[in-house]
Amino acid sequence: MYKNITKPFFDFLIALIGLIILLPFFILIITFLTFSNNGKPFFYQIRPGKNEKLFRIIKFKTMNDKTDNNGELLPDEKRLTPIGMFVRKTSLDEIPQLINVIKGNMSLIGPRPLLPEYLDLYSKEQHKRHNVKPGITGWAQINGRNAISWEHKFKLDVWYVENISFKLDIKILFLTLRKIIIKEGITSSTSVTMEKFKG
């Protein structure tokens, strides 16, 4: 009952209230990022959701689109703007995903939605992470986020799917707030973003 009825209801209600409360910050960040990213404050990308159904995720854009002489995008660390770094470190870049939660594409808590190209690389066990809606935060995020290996992250995702409960979601929610405050696990050990999963 919790997973199919109560959780979706609370997702919608909390996301709506959260978006209303954070609206002043939302507008302020949009203003700064509009100037920083040449009029592009948002980042859109197709991601697989529940049952691997594709949807478009929305986040604040923390990197510009600068390219090299060959027209290829520069490395992430060279495209991450100062305001983008602040927004990412404080996890404010995740705020627009409340819109995805309200639309029903995502949950507040669940495995993070990754790239569609990873779907063919998952093992049978790892595919289980798509048995529930993806979340803004999740069990893997409070246990290392980008600082742990892909294999470990997927094990944590599957564990969450198999043990989902109201008590667990509350625990993840509070520990997420703690992670944001101490800015832990935002980046991997070798990059400002997580390296791509290669199977």
**pLDDT value for 191:** 47
* Residue 16 to residue 150: CA distance in whole angstroms: 32
**pLDDT value for 197:** 85
Q: Does 23 score more than 80 pLDDT?
A: yes
Percent of the chain's residues with pLDDT above 70:
94
**Which segment of 40-54, 71-85, 158-172 scores lowest on mean pLDDT?**
71-85
**pLDDT value for 184:** 59
* Residue 87 to residue 192: CA distance in whole angstroms: 13
* Residue 134 to residue 32: CA distance in whole angstroms: 28
The backbone region for 40, taken as left when phi is positive above 0, alpha when psi lies in -120 to 50, beta otherwise, is: beta
**pLDDT value for 193:** 59
Q: Residue 7: which pLDDT band, with cuts at 50, 70 and 90? A: very high
Q: Does 119 score more than 80 pLDDT?
A: yes
Q: How does DSSP classify residue 5?
A: I
> Quick check: 88 and 145 in contact, CB under 8 A?
no
Per DSSP bridges, beta strands 42-48 and 54-60 are antiparallel
Give the residue from 186, 4, 198, 190 showing the smallest Cα distance to 84: 186
| pLDDT per position as a tens digit, 129-138 | 999 999 999 9
* Mean pLDDT, residues 111-128 taken together: 96
Q: Where are the beta strands (DSSP E) in the chain?
A: 42-48, 54-60, 107-109, 135-137
* Residue 55 to residue 176: CA distance in whole angstroms: 24
